[in-house]
């Protein structure tokens, strides 16, 4: 009886406690923080697409308590659907109203990886709120051009980057250039391109294509061609006129640049059991691959080479690269996606491109980086490609070491992002 009376005596207070739980929860549990990720620069290049899912993966892994709202330039052409398959809860800002609300709601803006300070306009807009922002993995100034204008930069960038909580550059050359131009951010360091964290995949499409063309896992190398300047004017959606100076430079250099890649293809086919898959990193390279690599090949070599005759998205590319024995060519982000998954990758560069190629040295892969304007480098391309093809175990070990360097640096730098959000 005594126990029953004690229980009844406390009933009102228990009932009151239960009734107060929702309010208590609201006062105790902090509101979820939201941030803006400024990214997604274009859809005609699987590397520019890869920046976004790469950084989203890092944020998902290391800042799971934070809501991310993506402010894109372009997520058309199937990219939005690809992102939603991997990140079903992702908020994508599309309308002016959604963007204005995000500026009001969010506590931080993160400028994602890219070829330059692409989101300058949005950083300027955000800066007016007085709320903090950071820059994660860009090349700067990032001008694709002739030697006399490659290092031109917008003076406004100096102040914008300096005001960031942190500015991470994806190559050491950009970092030193920024310092030399007076950029003075509290934290200025190197971090690998966010695309190194990309894990989107489309195994079904990759397997179907490979089966159709007789390509078996681990028994083919991927190869990418390129001109000095991507001829974006060939793509109707770009609405660009032909640039006479760039077109002339392309015509002048296209054989010199792609011949060593073609020679490496011939050597691999004739000296190893591997096949070759010609792939595009950007949409213009579908045609370039046929013109510069496939059509000129000897018939005995061409029989073991597959030309991919249509563009693809990052998820199918990643799944394909993961099934390959490696990659070589005149591009940057397909090699990044390969190393991200422990697949060997060789990068060839030239003067007109930005300094992003230096990141291969920054992660310990200088032996797999070649300058097509340096004859000594060009002469080593075929032997190094053959070495990668003939000793896959050693090549994968080399790729794995670089991957470890990347992952360690990303853990360190994303921790700084977390502290500032």
pLDDT grade, residue 31 (50/70/90)?
confident
Please give the average per-residue pLDDT across 379-389, as a whole number.
Answer: 98
Mean pLDDT, the chain, rounded, equals 94
pLDDT at 390: 98
Q: What does the DSSP 8-state code read for residue 30? A: P
pLDDT digits (tens, 9 = 90+) for 340-360: 999 999 999 999 999 999 999
Look at 1-5, 98-102, 157-161 and tell me which has the smallest mean pLDDT: 1-5
pLDDT at 330: 98
- CATH topology of 34-196+407-420 equal to that of 203-406? yes
Over 60: is that where the pLDDT of 28 sits?
no
pLDDT digits (tens, 9 = 90+) for 124-176: 999 999 999 999 999 999 999 998 889 999 999 999 999 999 999 999 999 99
Look at 26-35, 50-59, 309-318 and tell me which has the smallest mean pLDDT: 26-35
pLDDT at 30: 60
| CATH class given for the domain over 203-406 | alpha beta
pLDDT grade, residue 283 (50/70/90)?
very high
Over 70: is that where the pLDDT of 23 sits?
no
Please give the average per-residue pLDDT across 61-87, as a whole number.
Answer: 98
**φ, ψ dihedrals at 6, nearest 5°:** -65, -40
Q: Is 93 helix (H, G, I), strand (E, B) or coil?
A: coil
pLDDT digits (tens, 9 = 90+) for 395-412: 999 999 999 999 999 999
Over 80: is that where the pLDDT of 226 sits?
yes
pLDDT grade, residue 375 (50/70/90)?
very high
∠ CA 254-249-295 to the nearest 5 degrees?
20
* DSSP states along 240-277: ----HHHHHHHHHHHHHHHHHHHHHHHHHHHHSS-EEE
Over 60: is that where the pLDDT of 1 sits?
no
- What CATH number was assigned to the domain covering residues 34-196+407-420? 3.40.50.2000
pLDDT digits (tens, 9 = 90+) for 183-197: 999 999 999 999 999
Instruction: Indicate the domain borders of the chain.
Output: 34-196+407-420, 203-406
pLDDT digits (tens, 9 = 90+) for 76-87: 999 999 999 999
Q: Is 135 helix (H, G, I), strand (E, B) or coil?
A: strand
| Distant-in-sequence, close-in-space partners of 181: CB < 8 Å, separation ≥ 6 | 153, 158
Cα(36)–Cα(51) distance, integer angstroms? 15
């Amino acid at each position: 009886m005594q126990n029953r009376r004690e229980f009844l005596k406390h009933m009102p207070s228990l009932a009151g406690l239960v009734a107060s739980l929702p309010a208590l929860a609201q006062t105790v549990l902090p509101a979820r923080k939201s941030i803006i990720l400024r990214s997604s620069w274009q859809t005609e290049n699987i590397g520019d697409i890869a920046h976004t899912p790469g950084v989203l993966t890092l944020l998902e892994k290391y800042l799971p308590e934070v809501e991310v709202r993506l402010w894109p330039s372009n997520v058309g052409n199937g990219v939005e659907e690809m992102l939603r398959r991997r990140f079903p809860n992702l908020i994508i800002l599309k309308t002016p109203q959604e963007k204005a609300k995000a500026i009001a709601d969010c506590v931080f803006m993160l400028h994602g990886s890219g070829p330059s300070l692409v989101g300058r306009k949005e950083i300027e807009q955000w800066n007016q709120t007085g709320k903090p922002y950071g820059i994660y993995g860009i090349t700067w100034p990032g001008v694709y051009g002739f030697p006399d204008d490659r290092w031109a930069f917008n003076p406004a960038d100096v102040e914008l980057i300096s005001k960031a909580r942190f500015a991470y550059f994806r190559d050491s050359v950009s970092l030193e250039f920024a310092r030399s131009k007076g950029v003075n951010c509290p934290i200025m360091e190197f971090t690998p391109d966010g695309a190194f964290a990309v894990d989107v995949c489309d195994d079904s499409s990759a397997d179907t294509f490979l089966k159709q063309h007789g390509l078996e896992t681990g028994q083919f190398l991927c190869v990418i061609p390129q001109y000095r300047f991507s001829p974006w004017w060939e793509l109707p959606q770009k609405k660009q006129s032909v640039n006479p100076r760039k077109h002339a430079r392309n015509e002048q250099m296209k054989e010199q640049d792609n011949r060593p890649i073609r020679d490496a293809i011939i050597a691999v086919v004739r000296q190893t059991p591997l096949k070759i898959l010609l792939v595009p990193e950007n949409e213009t390279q579908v045609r370039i691959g046929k013109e510069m690599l496939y059509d000129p090949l000897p018939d005995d070599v061409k029989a073991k080479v597959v030309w991919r005759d249509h563009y693809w998205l990052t998820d199918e590319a990643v799944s394909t690269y993961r099934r390959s024995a490696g990659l070589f060519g005149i591009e940057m982000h397909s090699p990044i996606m390969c190393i991200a998954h422990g697949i060997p990758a060789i990068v060839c560069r030239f003067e007109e491109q930005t300094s992003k190629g230096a990141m291969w040295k920054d992660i310990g892969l200088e032996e797999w980086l070649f300058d097509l304007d340096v004859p000594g480098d060009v002469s080593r391309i075929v032997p190094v490609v053959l070495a990668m093809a003939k000793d896959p175990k050693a090549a994968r070990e080399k790729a794995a070491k670089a991957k470890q360097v990347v992952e360690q640096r990303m853990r360190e730098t994303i921790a700084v992002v977390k502290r500032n959000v």
